[in-house]
Amino acid sequence: MEIKKIGVLGAGTMGAGIAQVAAEAGFPVILVDIETAIIEKALKAVKKAWKKAMEKGKLDESEMQKREGYLSTGNSMADFKDCDVVIEAIVEKIEVKKAVFKELDEICPKNTILASNTSALSITEIAAATGRPDRVVGMHFFNPVPVMKLVEVIPGAESSEAVSSAIVELCKKLKKEPVLAREFPGFIVNRILVPYINEAAMAFQDGVASAEEIDKAMKLGANMPMGPLALCDLVGIDVLLMVCEYFWQEFGDSKYRPSLALKQKVRAGHLGVKSGKGFYDYK
């Protein structure tokens, strides 16, 4: 099962990063988003990264031109009509994803693999919205995509072994390290990481220490490269809250109960780096 052309749906931070690594690996890739401004922002960020690599002597002019030639953009899912795989990287809302996959199923050729970059949601449920559940799989990249090596590959209940194997091989061609994970909420990384961040938010909520002290303690005491609350701000507090609520709903276990601190931040519109304020002030 050979993958020659890649489609990426959603030109946000994750989608732009996925498109960037695909072009860098020599794959023709089309990045699609309904918002022209978001596509323009994504292209600007990708080209800025490549120009920076040129300035450092890691990339020459001819290779830069090749990469730019591999990367194209579009505003409609109809642009995926000749893609071998489409990787969805849109909002983490199950109903939105199901609607999108239903549409992709109607647009894309029957042999196209449909992959979701979801960080926690059910691949089986997403796949059930299509007429090709055997060709739907999870392909969870990590932020920032050009830097982070890991990709979690998550087969759904009906994903074929051939499709999962093809995605594993694609990850390797993208110079990533794939790990296969069974379908459970949060898969591997977020199953462990999100409760850790939520517990840090609980400690903050209880007044154990300031955000700065909590992060300093975890960096110096547990050798973490970044404190949990700074990481929460980077990922997006609304995203962390959504995943916590999903875990709470799916597992029904009190250990996944979302911190009130996360809820209060989201209610105030303090979503972290992207809004300019979260546990820290970025303005």
| In the chain, where the domains are located | 6-180, 190-273
Q: Is 11 annotated as a binding residue?
A: yes
Whole-number pLDDT of residue 272: 97
Q: Which residues of the chain have pLDDT under 50?
A: none
Q: Is 12 annotated as a binding residue?
A: yes
What is the DSSP-derived secondary structure letter of residue 75?
A: S
Q: Is 14 annotated as a binding residue?
A: yes
Q: Is 274 annotated as a binding residue?
A: yes
Whole-number pLDDT of residue 1: 74
Q: Is 13 annotated as a binding residue?
A: yes
How far apart are the C-alpha atoms of 116 and 103, rounded to whole Å? 14
Which is it for strands 150-155 and 136-141: parallel, antiparallel or unpaired? antiparallel
Whole-number pLDDT of residue 283: 86
Architecture of the domain spanning 6-180? 3-Layer(aba) Sandwich (3.40)
Exposure letters 41-75 (e unless 16+ CB within 10 A, then b): bbbeebeebbeebeeeeebeeeeeeebeebbebbe
Q: Is 93 annotated as a binding residue?
A: no
pLDDT digits (tens, 9 = 90+) for 115-139: 999 999 999 999 999 999 999 999 9
**Active-site residue set:** 119, 140, 152, 190
Class of CATH domain 190-273: mainly alpha
